[in-house]
Each structure stands twice: as C-alpha cells, then as structure tokens.
Amino acid sequence: MIKRRGHKIRKGSQGSPQPIPGPHPPTTAQGRGGHFGTTAAGSTSVPAPPMAAPAPPSRSSPVSLRARRPPAANGGRRGRRRERARGGAAMEEVSARFVAQKISKARWRPLPAAALQPPDVFATGSWDNEDNRLSVWAVGELGSGEYLGEPQLLCDIGHDGDVMDMQFLDQERIVVASSTGSVTVFRHHQNNQTLSVNQRWEKAHYHVDQDTSCGGAACTGVICNNPEIVTVGEDGRINLFRADQKDAVRTIDNADSSTLHAVTFLRTTEILTVNSIGQLKIWDFRQQRNEPSQIFSLTGERVPLHCVDRHPNQQHIVATGGQDGMLSIWDIRQGTMPVSLLSAHEAEMWEVHFHPSNPDHLFTCSEDGSLWHWDTSTDVSEKPSFLHHGGRSTTYLSHSTINQSVVCAWLNNDPTKDRMEITNLIPNQTLSVNSLDVLGPCLVYGTDAEAIYVNRQLFA
Amino acid sequence: MEEADTEPPLVVVPGADPASRQLCFEWGPAEVLVCETRFGRGGGSPAPGGGWAPARFGPVRPRAGGGDAAPGSSRVFVVRRDQDIYIQTLRKLFNESHGVFIGLQRCEEELAGKSRKAHLVQVSKNYRSVIRACMEDMHRAAAATRDPALHSQYSTQVSILSAMELIWNLCEILFVEAAAAGPLLLRLLDWIRLHVCDVDSMVREVLSSENPSKHKLFWNVVDVFVLQGRMDEARHLLSKEASANPTSMSMYKVLDDLMMKMPVPNLGNTQTLTELELKWQHWHEECQRYLRDGTFASNPHMESICKILAGDENAMLEKKELLTTWYHFLVTRLLYSHPTVKPMELHFYAQSSMDLFLGEESSPEPLDTILMAAFEFELHQVIKECSIALSNWWFVAHLTDLLDHCKLLQSHNLYFGSNMREFLLLEYASGLFSHHSLWQLGVDYFDHCREYGRVYLELHIERIPLNTEQKALKVLRICEQRHMHEQVRSICKIMAMKALRNNRLGSALSWSIRAKDAAFATLISDRFLKDYCERGCFSDLDLIDNLGPSMLLSDRLTFLGKYREFHRLYGEKRFSEAAKLLLMLMTAHIAPCSFWMTLLTDALPLLEQKEVIFSAEQTYELMQCLEDLTAGKPDKQKLLDDDVETTKVEMLRLALARNLARVIVKEGTLEGS
C-alpha cells in the first residue's frame, strides 16, 4: 500500500488543468434516428422506413454538469456552482448523483392538491445489494436561487430484500414491494427526517409451501389508491390490502399461471395486470369469481409484458411495454389485441408512464440504457419542424392538421395522419435504466450504474 | 514480467495444518477456501486479515463451521480477491470510470492523428476527474465521521486516491500527451502545483492576514511561489513588501525585474527551442552577475531567492521544508537550470534529485519507485510497481488500457494469457464479478477483452445467484445479446427448476419454452397431464391455450396443447371436430401410449351421444387402438386383475360395438335414400 507523503487536497486551482469536465450524464438530448413503426391492430410491428434523415447530432462539446472543486484541506465544503450548457439549443437541467447502490425504483412524492411549485422530494429503492435501502431525497433551490447541484439525501432505512416496486400512498407513506414477498408501508416523518415502518404484511406473496424457508415469492408490483393497495407477485397471486387493516381484504390465488409483472388501477374497483406470457388482464373486485373479467393478448410470439400504465384522462387507453422493447397501445373498449405496436427499445422496457397532467407525453425506459420521451402533442402551427432541430435530433412522422385534439393521438393508428416526436433523453448510456417517474416539469430516473438523475425542466 | 517473477506470496491459513489435514479450495461468486483447522469451536478466531493476507486477498471472514459437527474440525474461510471492491465509497469510482472506459473503447477507430491524441488526453483527464470526485467524497466522509477508526480508514483511502491521481497525472504528461521539450516543463509545473498542496494552508493564512508583509511566514510564501514558478504571485507579494520598505526600493526593483524577465517556454510555438535557450542563458547570466555583485547581500531572503533563480541547488535544498518532496525539487531544479529538458533526459535529473533530496538517511518508498520508473519511461515497471503497491486492480487496469490505446504497449506480450492489458482487465473484471452488486460492470470489461473475455464471462455469468426473476431476466439479456446459448439454456433451466419446485408449472413451462429446452418441456407437460389425470381438470389454462407456435417445441407439449384443444372443442359442443382430433392424436402417435386409455375413456361420452359422431371407419380405428393397447400389454393377466381397468375396457368395447351398429345403420340409410 502506498501513501502520499502530503496527502491533503488542493483547493481550487490557479491555472492548473483542473477542474476537468466530468464524464457525466447527458447535457443535451440527442435522439436516435431509430426505426419507428406503427401498424394497424394485430399485425406485428414492422419497422417503418426511415422517415427523414435524422439531424446530425449537434451536440456541443461535453460540458461539465457540475464544476468540480476539491474541498479545502480542512474539509470545508465549497458551494458548488453548476455550469450551464452554453450554445446548445437544449439547455437542460439535469443533475446527477452516484449513490453506491443500484436503483430499482424512483418515485416523486405526490404534490398536495393545490400546490403550484414543482415536486422537490422523491424516494428511491435499491436492489441486488447485501443491504438494500429505501432513501428519500430532496432536490430544490436554496434560498439564494443557487441550485443545489445534486439531489441531497434526507433519510434512508434498510429494506429486507430487493425493492421490486414502490408507490407513494399519500404525502407521507410509501408502499414498498420486496423480493422476499413482503409488502411494507413506510412513513416518512418530515419534521425530523426519519423513516419508520408503519405496517408490514409478511409473505404477502409466497409459493405453495408456506413453511419452507424459500417460501416467499417476489412481489413484483404494487399500486395504491389510498387506502387501497393492490400487489401482484411471481406466485401469480393478487392481493388487495387496506392500509389500516392487518389482513388482506381480498386474495386471488393462482390468478395467473405465469408471473405477474405489473399492476395498475383502471377504475376504483378494477385493476389491470400484465404477465410474462404477453397478456393484459382486467380484474373486477366487485365480482366474487376469481377470474379476470377480460383478457387481452399479443398475438403470435408470447412476448412477456413488463409494465403497464393507463391514460390519466381517457381510461380506455392503456400502454404496455414488453420484453422486446415494444410499446403497445391498447383500447380496452374494443378487441382483444393492441391498437398499435410501436417498436422502441432494444431490450426490456421496464417502465412506461403517461405524463399525469399532460398525457400527450409518454416516457419509457429500458434495459438497453435508454429513456425515451414520446410526444404526440406537436402542433404544426406552433413548432415549425424545420426550425426545431437544434440540439436534438428527432424523428417526425407526417403532419396531422385536423382533429388533433378530438381524436386521441395515441389511438390514431393511421401513420399518415399521425405525428409523433420521439427523443432519447440519454445518449451513450450503457447500463439499464430501471425506473423513471414524471411529475409536473420534473423527471427522475435511476440506473444500474448506481446513479440517480433529475431533470427539472422537461418541457423547456 | 519479462524476467521470472518472484514466487507468489505464500498464504498461511491460520490454524490449518496441511501436513495432517486436507485443505481444499472451491471457486464461486466469491472465492471460498474451505479448510480444516486446529481451532476448537470456541477457540480464538483469527483476526480478520491479521497480517497474513497478501495485498489482494482481503479480509478473510471466518464463518461458522459447516455441517460437519466434529468439534474443532472445520471452518470455512471466504477469501475475496479484490479487497477494495468492497469499499462502499469506491463504488462511485468503479461506476463512473466504467462510463469513461466504455466511451474510450467506442470511439477507438473513429479518430486519427492529432484529434486522437487530444481525445486520449481528454479521456485521461476524465479518469482523473473521477478519481478526484471520489477523493472529494471520501474527504467529506472523513470530516463528517466521529468514529476515529473510520476516520483513519477514510484518510488512508484519500491518501491512496491522491497517490493514484499523482501517478496518473505524471503518466498522462509523459506517455499519453508525450509532451515535448519546452511544454514538458510547463506540464510538470502544473503537476507540481496541483499535487504539492501542503503549503496551501500557509499561503492562505498569510494572504488573509491584515498585513501580509509583516506575517512571520511571509518569506516562506514568497519562496513557495518562486519554487513553483508562480512568478506573478511572487512579484505581487514582493511589491507589497517593497512599498513598506522605501529604503530598499531599488533592490526590490532589481529582483522584480529579474522575475519578470524570466523567459519561459510557451505553448504557442512562436519561438524555437534554441531561441528560448539563448534568452534563458542571457537571463541566467544576469542573475549570476547580480549574485556576484552582491546586490542582495543586505537581505538574506532576497539573496536566497536570487540564488534559486540562478539555479543554485544548495539554495533550493535549504528550502526542503517547503519543497516537501523530491519530485518538487526535481521540477524546481529543472525550471531554474534546465528549462528545455528533453523527455529522455528526465531520468538522469530525477535520479540525482532523489538522491540529493532524500540523502543518506531515508530510502525510497513505493511511490518514489513508481514515479522514478515513470521518469525513466519504464512503462512496464510503472505498471508492475503499481500492481504490487496498490490494493486494487482498478488503477492498473484502466491505466494500462489507456496506454494501450496510445499504442505504447504493443510489443509486450506475456508468456501466459493474451497481453498485459487484457490480463489486467480480466483480473479487475473478475473482481467486479465477485461482488454481489457490481457484477454488471464487469460484463463490459470482459466484452473488451478480445481473447479470453468471453470465456471468463461465460464462466462467471453462470455463477451469478439468481434470486428474483427480474435479475434472471437481466442476466439472460446479457447472455442473449452475446449469443451465449449454452448459458441461456442453463439459466432458463435453473429458473424452470425453481418454478417447478414451487409448483408453478406455468412459469416453469414459460422458462423452458424460452430456453427451447425440449426435454424439460416434455417433463413439465407430463406433470400437467399427470395433474389432469389426478384432478380431472387442467390448471393454468391461460398458458396452455396460448401456446401458439411454441407448442411444437416437444412432442409431449404438442400433445398437451392439442389435448387441451380437444377439451375446448368438446366444451363448445363441436363434437365431430373433437372426435376427429382425438382419433388423430392416437393414430398419428402424438399421444404417449400410457395416455391412450385416458383418451379412449374420453371417447366414451362421444360414443354415447344421441347423434352418431364417429364414422364407421373412425370406429374401426378406435377399436384397433383399443386392441393395440390391450394386446400390447406384456402381462395380460395383470391387466385383467385390475377391476377398474377391466370394466373400462369392457365398457369401451360395448360402446364401440353399439356405435358401430348405429353408424352402419345410419350410413346405410343415408346411402339408401
């Protein structure tokens, strides 16, 4: 082992080559002139021919997101100044932090009903660690308007097993699904910044032999509609809990013969699940039968579905993401097959989210390390397409001039009338983006590269 | 590594007696050494890592004895290959540098010539930036912690990281950038200014005092500036002192003039090296003239500064306290006596500087040896010394990779393995793979080892513990992207076995379909059929009804799918189609013979329907099947003994006969009419 004789760190630098731009998260968005196809219901997706030559990546030279200044030798911490990208058209506010744990889930804390300010607190869960943690972070401005560069840890607490899914029940409570099969409600005490266990259902998901040590089955998905909590797991079981009751309100054993990967609410009594053989099922808790009220499925190859989200305003529109990275849009009023199949990522799509208040925007992230922003809101009169290339290369579909607002863009499966703008928000990423969440103008995502990223000006 | 290396260090396992007991070694996700020891159960456990572990075999954690209950007999040691991998604060270093590494491999071919060099320097700076960021974090952690043990641990890490950056920076100047005479000195000055920072606090103290020129350390600070070649700052300070001493104004003026006029190499290439040398020679003579004339005789501080300017080594060595290290001395010496030093001459000055600075009393430390090797342009020696001295593979692996991209290591091949770059990357990545969480990073490193990377990956990836399906999917994706079919099969099989053990037949089948594992699909199909025979109904209908083309994976699976289709047709009262399918299953030998009886029994209700379903020909075929079945039984007696079976066969015969009678009548009437 070697040590330097004088090992104090130099502060600042006068004329020295430091600080060096760090190899940091993307500063400017760069689309990929990828294949993009949309086809009518049922048929498998065919990559459409390249629409137009994608704009050359006009990315300005890598700009450091945070100027690195080694601290003073006495440990005094200097304020960090964030450098903004100069020149580039897209001036994005991305801040990053390496957190020394692989992030499996990231979720914004919901805003109080009348709030106008953007969200500033989010929670993350880790996976594949010897001791996994649930952490709560803050992003925001310090009084003087100076940006607090990276997210700051407010508090964290150990979690037994991988965090498989996580949802905020309300402002204070977080429901966490574990790979051990238990479901835990944590309470975040905001006055003294601590986390504590509020309620726990041990072995909410389990394999047949409940007594053996390996009896727990991973709980893969959780969704909340205060006070109701629905969980699904690798055991194909669906549980309905109420936050204030010790026992499950309803359990559907063997709801699915394969693994259930995700769940979301359709209406207050109905839920949607997706499984590993490419099926989308609707369950109605009003019915006493333990059978789904409707089954939708992908045709042909039974490609597993990994995530599901419902359009916030038009409840019949549902988006799912599959193992092959395909985005499927379903209209659950009609048919049993997806309305459109959009070939997207190159590997598993881990999450899909409609923007909660701006549902013309959709976000997906994938194992291949990309995070895509799908925008169907593009109004021709507003954004002349020829002038909009600076900084990001985008793929345009042809123009839609009429009835844009009447027919929901997501169901418009006629490519000639549809126009969609897709932007890859992370160029050059290699490891999986496991989770993302959008709220207001803010996006948070976590990766297997043990970093969390926050973009606070999504629509800038 | 050219010469026969020293023997690998001997690892003495405490308490083990290889003479009388057997030692064995098992390789796994973490390397596990199983050994028998003399320790009793309650015996003193060896101090973890207590002095016997060699550099890279980190803390050994004794675990409770295994299943063997004999008292004092066994103990399991877990030996980790790369101790630093487990330091929490270094994970940031591993993750961030992984990104830089990938970036470097990606743009390998695109650039050429000058832009390539600029790019490589940029990459090198990025690596250093990562080290620095990590150091910063560690420093903060050290300051925040109250635990003295933890504090010293962090401080140790900070000093190691600091040393790594120091070495890296020097390698960047000498090898990556390969600065030529002239700019070389400027780079070295930057290097010194950045890394010798003990004096910084002193400078700050003096500058922040009310009257700097009266401060007791004032002259020390001026000396520091002069020694580091920071002329402007030194002159600024001196001017303050001068204004306070109007009497000696002229003396200050002379020194100020000297310092201002000092010729320095510039990067703009506007002057040639000879031009610079000439100017410098002139200036140097001027300095010496002032010394001879005794211009500064009245002020010892200024005289010593002038001596330094004139390149007087003894004057420099008097400031040993301020120089702090021999390499600072080296650079100062070069600045004032050999400003146009060529890279190849460096080692000569370095050696003599070290000897002069350290003198007789102290011997060089590992860091000194490494830096010396760098000054001697002994690349391999640098890497070798670093490998020995540092407790991780991270540094050497990344540095070697970068130097390899600079095409500096090409001639060097090892007598084992591929080349040095690959060898070190493999070691580092193997270390990552032994970590419960960092294994994902290792994959990309293996990808960029052309020769053995794939084999390593294959061996390691199979040993990743798969606790959830999601993790399995991630591992699978890694294998599928690299067309590692064998591993895909094995992972799917593990998952299928797990699902089967948990009684999740549907999941198990899904996994075996994904692996295209026909044998396993057959096994699971049999389980399904067995369950059906026992319970009389199918489980997991949603899966079996949706098999699609994957049904063709194995015969048994095809049968399962078709048989379920028969049930569906029957349920939908499409009897004739169902009957046709049923018969086909037997005549085409899709159904296993053991299942024929069940199939024939299934035919019973069809035979008993009011309307006639089986045609005469079909009925004959059914009869044939039944006879084949009964005749095929080796022990007819046994079959007859079984009451239920006998009844079944008799009922079938009866039903078949009756059906035949009806169908003959029906077909006859139809033809007749």
Q: What does the pLDDT read at residue A271?
A: 94
Side chain identity at B154, as an amino acid letter? Y
Nearest CA in chain A to B132: A70
Contact status of B435 with chain A (Cβ, < 8 Å): no
Average of pLDDT values for B348-357?
90
Q: What does the pLDDT read at residue B476?
A: 93
Residue A146 and residue A36: Cα distance in Å, rounded? 41
Comparing CB atoms, the residue among B98, B102, B162 nearest residue A4 is B162
Tell me the CB-side half-sphere exposure of residue A386, using CA atoms within 13 A.
0
| Stretch (H or E) spanning A95 | strand A94-98
Query: Do the beta carbons of residue A135 and residue A123 sit within 8 Å?
Result: yes
Residue A189 and residue A195: Cα distance in Å, rounded? 6
Distances (CA, A) of B180 to B118, B187, B330, B357: 15, 10, 17, 26
Residue A389 and residue A89: Cα distance in Å, rounded? 9
What SS3 class is residue B327?
A: helix
Does the distance separating the beta carbons of A218 and B469 come in below 8 Å?
Answer: yes
Between B356 and A10, the more confident residue is B356
- Set of chain A residues whose Cβ sits within 8 Å of the Cβ of B370: 2
Q: How far is A377 from chain B (nearest CA, A)?
A: 34
Does the distance separating the beta carbons of B440 and A302 come in below 8 Å?
Answer: no
Measured over the CA atoms of residue B557, residue B558, residue B561 and residue B563, the dihedral's sign is negative
pLDDT in tens, chain A (460 residues): 454 443 334 333 333 333 333 333 333 333 333 333 333 333 333 333 333 333 333 323 332 223 232 333 333 222 222 223 323 333 456 888 899 899 999 999 998 887 778 888 999 999 998 889 999 999 876 444 445 578 889 999 999 999 999 999 999 999 999 999 999 999 999 899 999 999 999 889 988 764 555 578 899 999 999 889 999 999 999 999 999 899 899 999 888 888 999 999 999 899 999 998 888 999 999 998 888 998 898 876 778 999 999 999 888 999 999 999 999 999 988 877 888 888 889 999 999 999 998 888 999 999 999 999 998 876 544 443 343 333 344 444 443 333 344 456 777 655 545 567 888 888 777 899 999 999 988 999 999 999 999 988 887 6
pLDDT-wise least confident of A313-327, A431-445, B28-42, B336-350 = B28-42
Residue B307 and residue B286: Cα distance in Å, rounded? 12
What SS3 class is residue B253?
A: helix
Strand pairing report for A163-168 and A219-225 = unpaired
What is the tens place of the pLDDT at every residue in B89-112?
Answer: 889 999 999 999 998 988 766 666
Strand order in the sheet with B61-63: B23-26, B32-36, B74-78, B61-63
Residue B365 and residue B472: Cα distance in Å, rounded? 47
Distances (CA, A) of B234 to A24, A160, B43, B314, B335: 37, 60, 65, 21, 16
**Residue B76: beta bridge partners?**
B34, B63
In terms of DSSP H, where are the helices of A8-117?
A: none
Query: Do the beta carbons of residue A133 and residue A158 sit within 8 Å?
Result: yes
Contact status of A160 with chain B (Cβ, < 8 Å): no
Query: Do the beta carbons of residue B185 and residue B334 sit within 8 Å?
Result: yes
Q: How many CB atoms lie within 10 A of CB B388?
A: 15
**Residue A98: beta bridge partners?**
A451
Does the distance separating the beta carbons of B193 and A15 come in below 8 Å?
Answer: yes
Contact status of A300 with chain B (Cβ, < 8 Å): yes
ipTM value of the model? Answer: 0.80
Q: What does the pLDDT read at residue B462?
A: 87
pLDDT-wise least confident of A189-203, A297-311, B577-591, B630-644 = B630-644
pLDDT-wise least confident of B394-403, B438-447, B526-535, B536-545 = B536-545
Does the distance separating the beta carbons of B200 and A11 come in below 8 Å?
Answer: yes
Does the distance separating the beta carbons of B95 and A98 come in below 8 Å?
Answer: yes
Q: How many CB atoms lie within 10 A of CB B214?
A: 12
Does the distance separating the beta carbons of A179 and B135 come in below 8 Å?
Answer: no
Comparing CB atoms, the residue among B100, B142, B391 nearest residue A23 is B100
Q: What does the pLDDT read at residue B362?
A: 75
| Interface-testing mutation among B139, B153, B155, B482, with chain A (most A C-beta atoms within 10 A) | B139
Q: What does the pLDDT read at residue A237?
A: 92
Does the distance separating the beta carbons of A450 and B325 come in below 8 Å?
Answer: no
Does the distance separating the beta carbons of A207 and B502 come in below 8 Å?
Answer: yes
- Set of chain A residues whose Cβ sits within 8 Å of the Cβ of B95: 98, 449-451
Task: Residue A283: name the closest of A311, A251, A326, A243 by CA.
Answer: A251
Q: Global pTM?
A: 0.80
Answer whether residue B458 shows pLDDT above 70: yes
Contact status of A180 with chain B (Cβ, < 8 Å): no
Nearest CA in chain B to A215: B502
Comparing CB atoms, the residue among B88, B135, B160 nearest residue A3 is B160
Query: Do the beta carbons of residue A325 and residue A344 sit within 8 Å?
Result: yes
Comparing CB atoms, the residue among B197, B468, B481 nearest residue A162 is B468
Residue A264 and residue B325: Cα distance in Å, rounded? 64
First to last CA, chain A: 50
Comparing CB atoms, the residue among B142, B444, B542 nearest residue A256 is B542
Does the distance separating the beta carbons of A164 and B468 come in below 8 Å?
Answer: yes
- The tokens describing B444, both together, are 């990309």
Instruction: Look over chain B and give the mean of its residue pLDDT values, rounded to a whole number.
Output: 81
What is the tens place of the pLDDT at every residue in B282-304?
Answer: 999 999 998 888 888 888 888 89
Average of pLDDT values for B310-327?
88
Instruction: Name the B residues in 66-125 with CB < 8 Å from any A CB.
Output: 88-89, 91-92, 95-96, 98-100, 102-103, 106, 125
**Long-range CB pairs of B31-34, under 8 A, 24+ apart, other chains included:** B31/B78, B31/B79, B31/B80, B31/B81, B31/B434, B32/B76, B32/B77, B32/B78, B32/B79, B33/B60, B33/B76, B33/B77, B33/B78, B33/B79, B34/B66, B34/B74, B34/B76, B34/B77
Answer whether residue B507 shows pLDDT above 70: yes
Comparing CB atoms, the residue among A1, A2, A6 nearest residue B324 is A6
First to last CA, chain B: 101
**What backbone torsions phi and psi does residue A444 show, to the nearest 5 degrees?**
-125, 140
Q: How far is B667 from chain A (nearest CA, A)?
A: 42
What SS3 class is residue A258?
A: coil
- The tokens describing B662, both together, are 């009806």
